[in-house]
Structure 1
Amino acid sequence: MKFLIIDDAAVDEIVSSRTLQSTEFEQGKTFAAILRGQVRSATLSATLSMITDADGIALFSPKVSKDSKFVVIDIEQARVFDSLNESEALFATQKLLRFIKKIWNGLSLTHSEKMISGTSKSVLFPFQYRPTPFRIVIEREPMTNRLEKRGVAGNFLLVYKAGYELGEAAKETAELTNFRKAFEALPRFRETVRKATDDSTAAVGVKELQVSFLDNPSDGNSSIFRGFDEWLPMLTSQQKSFIEAKIVGPHRIEGAAGTGKNSVPHVESGQRSEGEGKEQ
């Protein structure tokens, strides 16, 4: 794996998800394995999409668009996680993504988060109590001219160096080969997420809330001990239409007292509800 690219909404989810903050959770352990290049296909949550190609991985939210902000971690050049175990890799990444959110939102920094004066570089020291500091270096303006021409200048951050060695970040120049690969792959990654989202929506067929009204009095001849097959012939046409309707979204049954709302049975899958003003 040469790079990992994450959009801003995905960053928000990762830093707010309890299960992605510790390797004691299966999702956190999987995320750490992704960071260390040990896994190239996984499900971290119901909303995050993981897309891979020959060079890298994208972790995108359903909201990803051409106007989103992105952080690109150059795994090959930075070698961020080579000297870290899976727990340390996850901890450092969580610290890094929180730092990135601060950069994007112009928030105040801690003593372990530095903006290097007179440069477009930022440095993070994720581990506070170590005799030899571990640092992660960020380029805030990678490939500036090209991004300006595309109208997306300021939307990208590049993590390009990490490790225990000391050096002068102000004098360093980020290698952009893998950043270019991530940037060029971005439209394909976004299209993959869009298609997956469209397919998911089409499969579910979600619609607005439907409401079925019962307006005919019920004879009340029902019992909780009747089976579904025994109950079905005793239903009114309105009741039967409700329980036999194809489920394509929320569906509510309403009616005045005595119209038989409580006579509508549960189907075996539990997709219908009993009682006044209940939804599927």
Structure 2
Amino acid sequence: MLEFKNVFKSFHNEEETIDVLKNISFRMETGEFVAIIGPSGSGKSTLLGVAAGLDKPDTGIISLDGIDLTKQNESKLADIRADQIGFIFQNFQLLPGLNAIENVGIPLYLKSSLSEKEILSKAEKILESVAMSHRATHFPKQLSGGEEQRIAIARSFVNDPKIIFADEPTANLDYKNSKTILDLLLYRNKKQGTTLVVVTHDPEVAKLADRVLEMKDGEIISDSKNGSKPQNRKSIPKVKVSPPISSKSSTKQRKTTKQAKKVSR
């Protein structure tokens, strides 16, 4: 489903060249939950960025469902992200001038086949699934850190992606908010079969994964499975996973479409 072959990535400044990814090779199967661990500066976030087509490696092949992302132009990469990929940024990356429902709907505006009404309707449903419909018309500055992260989670879900990349999704959150975020991601992975790639420093998050990749100095130094979990998702025994939390703010939710502003592409 996702495969890296001999991927190298470096950054340059006036004084030196910094090798961030060094000969990275691995393969993930559809429906896997893979955690990427390692010290700060080991290349984890860079790996996530090139895997999602947000950046390009210097050399090597990155294939997503048989498509080599390194050979696609920016327009094609944008289409692939809109159709197949969800991304959760460590610092949320919500647009301050857009309210919650507009931020959630951003990936759908890249799909020209959807009308404004269809986009807002789908965004409303996703907000409901993360118990944030009552905050639909609030702006990022009016939200707590946990609420911002839930909006970011909803945005990554809205296009029904095949794969979700999450960069430290529970960083700087308290226990309650961290558990909520993990429940949402696990539900998507276990119940809907969405492939999940999570960068984390939290060993408790890594324990929940099917597989753990450990990085150091730009290299993968270990690749291990948790317990006896197989890579093939269909073979995994049933796991009890909490369903997404739900908000009962239906009245406010019905008002959202009228209040939300249209987002220009």
**TM-score in same-fold range (> 0.5):** no
Q: Which has the higher strand share?
A: 2
Name the TM tier (shorter chain): under 0.3
Give the alignment's TM-score, normalised by structure 1. Answer: 0.25
Higher relative contact order (CA 8 A, sep 6+): 2
Q: What is the TM-score of this pair, normalised by structure 2? A: 0.26
Q: Which has the larger radius of gyration?
A: 1
